[in-house]
Homo-oligomer: A and B are copies of this chain.
Amino acid sequence: MRLLVVGGDAAGMTAASHVRRERPDTDVVVVERGPYTSYSMCGIPYYVGGEVDAAADLVAKTPEAFRAMGIAVHLRTEAVSVDVAARTVRVRDLEHGGERDEPYDLLLLATGAHPLPKPLPGLAEYGHVVHTLDEGEHLRRHLDAQRDVRRVVVVGAGYIGMEIAEALVRRGMSATLLDRSPQVLNSLDPDMAAIVERVLREFGVQVRLGEELLEVRGDPGCALCSSVVTDCGEYDADTVVLAMGGKPNLAVARTAGCEVGPSGGLVVDPQMRTTVPGIWAAGDCVESVDLVAGLRRNVQLGTHANKQGKVAGFSLVDAMDGGTGDGDAAFPGVVGTAVTKVCDWEIARCGLGERDAAEAGIAYATVAFEGTARAAYMPDPGVVHVKMMAERGTGRILGAQLVGTGNVAKRIDVAATWCHLGVTAQQAQLFDLSSSRRWTCIRRCSARPFRFRAGEAAHRPEGPGAAPARA
C-alpha cells in the first residue's frame, strides 16, 4: 500500500505522520516543491524583520526528522498532473531536472495556496512575493544585501502585509502599505480596522488605502526599482513586497478532475475526501464549512491545515484497512478565528463580521465598547476595543472582534467556542468566566454587550441564563 502526499507543510506532513505511525507497513511518500517541510508561515514576517534569526527556526520538523520516521520526502519536487486511471502523479525534479511518475494507491493533495499577482509592468522584476519560507528567505537576503533599500512598498494590507510593514519600520526603513480596499484587514469591520490603521500610522507605517498598484518602474538590470505607480500617483520605492492573499493551488487537482467549489477551494467531505475516489485533500487548498454562516469558505490557516491533516490521516488509515474511509474523525468546520499582532496591539476576530452577516442574510445586532485589559485599578491596565454580534431574534452569538494592548488576543477563543456551539448572548453572560483578579475584558465581553433586556437580541426562546445544554 502506497500513500502519496503532494505538499510537505502542515496538512500533508500531519497526515503522512499519522498514517506512518498507525500503519508502519505502508509506504508514505511526500513530494514538496520547496526546500522545507512543516514550517510556520506566520513567522515569516518576524524572520524578514530579524526578530527571528534563522529560517530554520521556523521549521517545526525537518525533512530529516520525517525521513527518520520512515517517510520518503522528496524536496524541490513539483507535482504536475494526476493520471487517475493509472494511479500515478507526474512530478518534476526542480533541482536536477527531469520528470517521473510516482505511483499511489491513495493520494492526498495538500498543495496549499499562493498569491497570483496580476501581470503588471515591472512586477515580475521587482516584486517580492512573501508566502513561502524560501520566498521569505529571498526577501531577507535581498534586504540584507541591498543596503540602499530605504523605501519599501508593501502591497496588501492583510495580516502578513501589516506584519511585514511593521518589521520593515523596525529595520529602519520607510514602509508604505498599499491596498485597493478602503480599509486594512478586510476580515475586521471597518470601525475596528480603523483602530488598527491608526496604530500602524502612529508606528510610522504609511498607509495608502483605496489605491491600486498599476506599475513598478526601474532601470533595466538594477536590483532595486525606482518607483511604483498607482491610480492615485507615483511614489519613490526601492523594493516592492507582494503580500496579497493566496489562491488555492489547484493545477494538479484539476488534472485529476476534483471538483472546485464556489469559494475557489477543493470540495471535500468531513473526512477530507475530494469528489474523486482515492484522492483526499487538506489545508489551504480546500473549502470548509463556515459553521456560523452555514456556507463554505476557503480559509488559509495552519490551525485548520493541522486538524484537516489529522482527520485525513484517520480517513486514509480506514481506507487502507479496507473501510469506506469514514475513519474515526470528522472535520467540523470553521468559525473564522484569527489573531495577529501589530506593534504592541493584538487583534483577534472570530465568526461573522457585519459584511459576512449581511451577505449570509442573517439579521444581526452589534455592540461595541472599550474596556481595560486588566482591572482598571491596576497600573497600566491596557485598553481593549471589543465588538460583538448576535443574531436578532435568537440572540445566537455570531462573532467577536478585539483590538487591544496587553496580550488579549487569545481571549477570542471563548467567543470562538460560543460560535461553534451556537451559544446565545443571554447564556454567555452568565457563564462562569474568570475575572476580578487583574483581568477583565472577555467577561465584560459577555456581561456588557447584550444586556438581559437588549431589545435587539431579546427574543431568547430559552430565556436568558437558561441552564446551558449539556452534551
Contact = CB atoms under 8 A, between A and B. Distances in A.
A411 B427 CA distance: 19
A250 B200 CA distance: 56
B43 A375 contact: yes
A103 interface: no
A378 B52 contact: yes
Contacts of A334: 432
A350 to B, nearest CB: 7
Given A159-B437, A409-B439, A420-B431, A42 B330 contact: no
A324 interface: no
A436 B396 CA distance: 28
Interface string A154-185: 00000100000000000000000000000000
A329 interface: yes
A407 interface: yes
Contact of A434 (B333, B339, B470): B339
A410 B409 contact: no
Contact of A471 (B42, B301, B422): B422
Given A375-B42, A378-B51, A410-B441, A270 B433 contact: no
A467 interface: yes
B377 A58 contact: yes
- What is the interface of chain A mostly: helix, strand, loop, or mixed? loop
A303 B432 contact: yes
A331 interface: yes
B329 A464 contact: yes
Interface in A329-352: 329-341, 348, 350
A213 B360 CA distance: 65
A57 B379 CA distance: 11
A294 to B, nearest CB: 10
A92 interface: no
A307 B433 CA distance: 11
